[in-house]
Amino acid sequence: MSGGDKLDFEIRPNPAPVSAADRAALLANPGFGRVFTDHMVTIRYAEGKGWYDARVEARAPIPMDPAAAVLHYAQEIFEGLKAYRTGDGAVTMFRPEANAARFVASAKRMAMPELPPETFVESLRRLVEIDQDWIPEHEDASLYLRPFMFASEVFLGVRPANEYLYCVIASPAGAYFAGGVKPVTVWVSPDYTRAAPGGTGAAKCGGNYATSLAAQAEAIEAGCDQVVFLDAVERRFVDELGGMNVFFVYDDNTLVTPPLTGTILPGITRDAILTLAAEAGHRVEERPVSFADWQADAASGRLREVFACGTAAVITPIGGVRFPDGEFLIGGGEPGRSTMALRQQLVDIQRGRAEDRHGWVQRVL
């Protein structure tokens, strides 16, 4: 399938969907990533044939040969975005075309075929349409969409695979962090790094997250919610959290985030915040921030707020920082005014309660 071709989806409704009563019970407290909808999308790819066999079908286990290439050489990428139910009953998605573009960039880096962006977005629409009853209606809840692709060819050999499977699954989601929006404490890893120059840091591939798990376990053992990684070359500059980008807010109304140098995932929420913060009157900078400066500026009061951001967590204030030699608070450990204002503005845009001046919100239903 070429970038301009249209792929038709075959619809195969689940013959045994979850009952309305059971679905309502699950939606009352879905948590994050624990509950899944009735259907999934699958599209196959073969070298010389292109993309084919697009389906919306019952969510089910995926048959896999023990020699499937992904199990041995980790050719796998994924995305994450949300569908929302607005106050007027509409269903929307936030910037799906940006996820589609990042999916293409990840595929290029991992030597995988590029799924046309219009097919990516259409696959999301199809799944949301058939599983719309799974979209929670209460505040801070949404339908989390997980598109992913992996090498399905059966072979052993170090080369790009010739066959792939693209899928989309959906999961009703509540707040990412238990207890809702409150300041989290982060652990600055002294030993582990997330990505190095020339590596896969800018791709959304599973391997990046696998390598963060030991550091995340270290963070939890230290009583923290998330890990912060420093750069792999000098071990001085802040890169990002285990699964989120990070921002710093200073007393002169400057908002700073580490630059995209190839080791940091180009977050879609990150990009939106840069735009909204500039419109709100912040001076916005993308520049390196050393951990030493983070600690010194927090102590002097020059640094007023720090927050993490991502699709799942949206914007989450960081109140405390721990590391092997000590710990410190930011802004007394309380949520900052700028952090919460940006968060509310972003949530209001996503849920159709504020003007969408940038065309970020796409109506599905």
Give catalytic residue positions. 204
Please, are residues 61 and 43 in contact by the beta-carbon 8 Å criterion? no
- DSSP tag of 223: T
Let me know if 18 is exposed, middle or buried by CB neighbors in 10 A (0-12, 13-18, 19+).
middle
User: 41, 33, 21: which is closest to 133 by C-alpha?
Assistant: 21
Whole-number Å distance between alpha carbons of 197 and 207: 15
Helix axes 268-279, 337-350, angle to 10 degrees: 110
Q: Is 297 helix (H, G, I), strand (E, B) or coil?
A: helix
Q: Angle at the Cα of 267 (from 263 to 271), degrees rounded to 5?
A: 120
Q: Is 25 helix (H, G, I), strand (E, B) or coil?
A: helix
Please, are residues 151 and 112 in contact by the beta-carbon 8 Å criterion? yes
Residues 6+ apart with CB under 8 A from 200: 109, 110, 207, 208
Please, are residues 22 and 160 in contact by the beta-carbon 8 Å criterion? no
Secondary-structure percent of the chain, ordered helix, strand, coil, rounded to 5: 25, 30, 45
| Token pair in block for residue 173 | 């989601």
| Token pair in block for residue 2 | 């070429």
State which H helix or E strand residue 210 sits in: helix 206-210
